[in-house]
Amino acid sequence: CILFQARKLSLRYEKQKPLDLTERTFSRQKPADTGQSVCRQDTATYSSGQWWFSLDNVTLTYNTSEVAVFNVTDVYAPALSSYRCLHVSSLHRHSGRLLPSSDSARRWSVTFIDFQIQAFTVTSDTFSPASDCTSILPPAILMGLITSLILLLVLAYALHMVIHLKHIENDDDQKVDIYFPHSPEPLDHCCEETITEKNVM
């Protein structure tokens, strides 16, 4: 009852080199082991008058017995659709939809690229129309918006300054020159006459 595909599956343990498990996982020569899979109708959830399916967790089994469990967030779609996302990963730069549930899981990084899954209405090997994942503001879009806002503020300030300078120029053109007439007699001669008049008195 589940149809699933991904273009790439990458694992990394702590700081070691990432391991590409795509061929081992999705190869036609090695079909997926579905021996422990369970398909029941009661695992669907009913919400808003519509049936939905969701992916609850991803379990990584290593060294034959050890497990790392990742709880999954925001991987759901209407039952008549499929869910598609470019990255379903435990890495924060890819929205961190896989949340490690233990210390052992925190040592691992899991990333699916071009992830698509569908449940309960699988009738052939083709997916139903997809419900794409969207984050409200991915980091790239957020940085673009912030940069655009800064550029708009700089542009608005520059326009304000240009308009203000033109206003100052217009004011200078409209000012009337004030004429101060020069005295024909030197200033020293004026003062000397005043001193002489005082002496005469």
For 160, the 3-state DSSP assignment is: helix
Q: End of a domain among 107, 133, 159? A: 133
Question: How many residues appear in the chain?
Answer: 201
**Residue in the block written with tokens 């997916």:** 127
CB burial of residue 112 (10 Å; 0-12, 13-18, 19+): buried
Q: Are residues 80 and 116 in the same domain?
A: yes
Q: Are residues 185 and 125 in the same domain?
A: no
Q: Are residues 119 and 169 in the same domain?
A: no
Higher pLDDT, 77 or 168: 77
193 band by pLDDT with thresholds 50, 70 and 90: low
Task: Name residues whose C-beta falls within 8 Å of residue 162's C-beta, 6 or more positions apart in sequence.
Answer: none
Q: Write out the two tokens for 184.
A: 């024909």
> Domain span at residue 111?
2-133
Q: Which amino acid is at 198?
A: K
User: Does 49 have pLDDT greater than 70?
Assistant: no
Q: How far apart are CA 123 and CA 51, in angstroms?
A: 17
Q: DSSP for 32-93?
A: ---TT----GGGSEEETTEEEEE--EEEEEETTTEEEEEEE-S-EEETTSEEEEEEEESSGG
Q: Are residues 160 and 66 in the same domain?
A: no
User: Does 73 have pLDDT greater than 70?
Assistant: yes
The alpha carbon dihedral of 30, 35, 39, 44 has a sign of: negative
For 171, the 3-state DSSP assignment is: helix
Q: Are residues 156 and 62 in the same domain?
A: no
40 domain residue, yes or no: yes
Mean pLDDT over each residue of the chain, to the nearest integer: 77
138 domain residue, yes or no: no
Higher pLDDT, 197 or 77: 77
User: Does 4 have pLDDT greater than 90?
Assistant: no
Q: Are residues 58 and 123 in the same domain?
A: yes
Q: How far apart are CA 123 and CA 156, in angstroms?
A: 58
| This prediction's pTM | 0.57
Q: Are residues 25 and 68 in the same domain?
A: yes
139 domain residue, yes or no: no
89 domain residue, yes or no: yes
66 domain residue, yes or no: yes
User: Does 177 have pLDDT greater than 70?
Assistant: no
Total domains in the fold of the chain: 2
CATH code, 109: 2.40.160
Whether the Cβ atoms of residue 1 and residue 120 lie closer than 8 Å to each other: yes
